[in-house]
Structures are given as C-alpha cells and as structure tokens.
Amino acid sequence: MNRVLEIVRAGALTTVQDLGRPGYAHLGVPRSGALDGPALRRANALVGNPEDAAGLETTLTGCGFRLPTGGLVAVCGAVARVRVDGVEAPSDAAVEVPAGGLVDVGRATDGVRSYVAVGGGLAVPPVLGSRSTDTLSGLGPARLRDGDRLPLGAADAASGLAAADAALGTVRSYTESVRNGPFLSLAVRLGPRDGWFTASAVATLLSTPYTVSPQSNRVGARLAGAALTRADAFAGELPSEGVVLGAVQVPADGQPLVFLADHPTTGGYPVIAVVTDVTALAQARPGSTVRFHGPER
C-alpha cells in the first residue's frame, strides 16, 4: 500500500514547503521555501528525515490530517496543541502515529506557523528542484484543501533517527530562536538605497518601533509606524532592480515592507536596508512590535 497523508482540515493556509528553490532569481523565480527554516529543519531531524525534506507549513489555525499507514510525526515552530486520535501529544518531539491515526495541529497560541514533518517526507513532484508552494508565482503544489492526498516517501527511521540527535544539537527550538522579549529585534545592513532617504529617516528606522500589519503574508511583512521620508533629490521613481530576502522596501507612503520567502525578484521602490535574518518575522503575529538595529549590536 502506498503511503499517503490525507488532509482532513486544511486550516487557513497550509502549504507544502521544503528549504526552497534558490538560484533562479535571474529567471524571475523566488526562492520560496519554509518561512521558518530552523523549525522545519528541527521537525525533520526529529523524525530522521534529511533537513531539506518537504513538510507542511500551517498558518495560525493549524490543520488536521490522517495517516492511513501510520508513521512518525513531529510538529515544531509556533506553539500549538497537538492531538493524535483526540489524545494530547507533545510538540517539538517525535510522535508515533498508528495506522489510520488522525493528527490535529491546533490554533497557534504563540507564533504563527507550525511545521509538520512526517517520516519519509512529502513526496509531491518537485518543480525546479523544490517541492515548495510559491504563493506569488504559483509554482509547486496548490495550497492544500480538505480531502487532498499527498504521497509520502519511504521512511527509514532506523538509520535516520540515529543521526537525529546530532542534527538537533545544531537547530534551536522556536522558544530559543524567536521568543526573546516584548518585541522582535531585527538586525539590518543599510543600503543599497539608504542614500535616497533623509538622515532623520535612517535614524528613525534604527530607533523607532514598528507594528506588524494584518496584511502581512508569505510575500512580505508590512509594517506600520513612523513614515520614512525620501531626500528631496530622490523624489522620482527608481527603475526596477533586483531585491533579496529581507529587503526593507519603502513604498510611496513611507511605511516599510520586509520581503519574505515568496517575494518578487525585482522591485521599483527603494530598499533602505536588508534584514540579515527574517526567521522572527515568520512567527510575528499582527500587532507584534518590531525594532531594527545595526548588525554590530
């Protein structure tokens, strides 16, 4: 019998994600991949998968799925209640699910995105070397819906779990890597277009708190706060140029937008700075407070 995962409750937005498809930006293809890469790596390590195996990325409301042939499951990332056949199970741990078992990942109570790894990984067909869903370009599998069936790879728990402990030593949990106080502290490197802004705007970026907007998604985290003002000499439009993961783009309204995994590969608004690690933004709920600082701190 072929191993599959059956989606029972797809939740608000559940997608298939691995570590993405880097190397195609020159063709207009975003990297995509798990927004919280460390959480997916940790979940894969717990069930003995390679770190780049595909799993599920849930958003806020979790998801429910059935494993007709059973298997090993781990849920990492956002804090959420996990149940197997109605019985509470630990998160951030490997859990054996019996044949026909129903796994329910509940609503996130801290953070936004949970990552579900199943022994053997999700074996949907790769596109440009990745199984990730790209919500901007439409590459990869469609967002999941109730009743979808996803093929699973062959699980080799005996050999995989032998290396899991070593792998886990290099991948921190959500509480270790993201939850670090009342606000999210994001290191940035200024440029390439910080010269398009007034000196006070740059100072404002590095000293003023911003709030994560409900309009944020896998493409980018929209922020609300003090507007960043352009210098008078740069009031015109900037020709489109390449942008990267973590780019802090400033549209005409002056409110910064931080590009995440499904970001476009080019943009016409100036980029005042680049966030060096966007992992915390993957788990930032609407209303969360963000502060930027230079990488030297």
pLDDT (tens digit, 9 = 90+) per residue, 218-276? 999 999 999 999 998 787 788 999 999 999 999 999 999 999 999 999 999 999 999 99
The distance from CA 110 to its chain's CA centroid, rounded to whole angstroms, is 15
Nearest to 5 by CA among 33, 47, 36: 47
Between CA 122 and CA 46, with CA 144 as vertex, the angle to 5 degrees is: 35
pLDDT digits (tens, 9 = 90+) for 174-217: 555 555 567 899 999 999 999 999 999 999 999 999 999 999 99
> Structurally, what CATH architecture does the domain formed by 184-293 represent?
Beta Barrel (2.40)
Query: Rg of the chain's alpha carbons, rounded to an integer?
Result: 20
What predicted TM-score, i.e. pTM, was given to this entire model?
0.93
- 211 SS3 class: strand
What the block records as the tokens of 85 is 């056949």
Under DSSP, the state recorded for 127 is: B
Under DSSP, the state recorded for 1 is: -
| Contacts (Cβ under 8 Å, ≥6 apart) of 292 | 186, 187, 188, 205, 206, 210, 248, 273, 275
AA letter at 131: R
Task: Locate the domains of the chain by residue range.
Answer: 4-175, 184-293
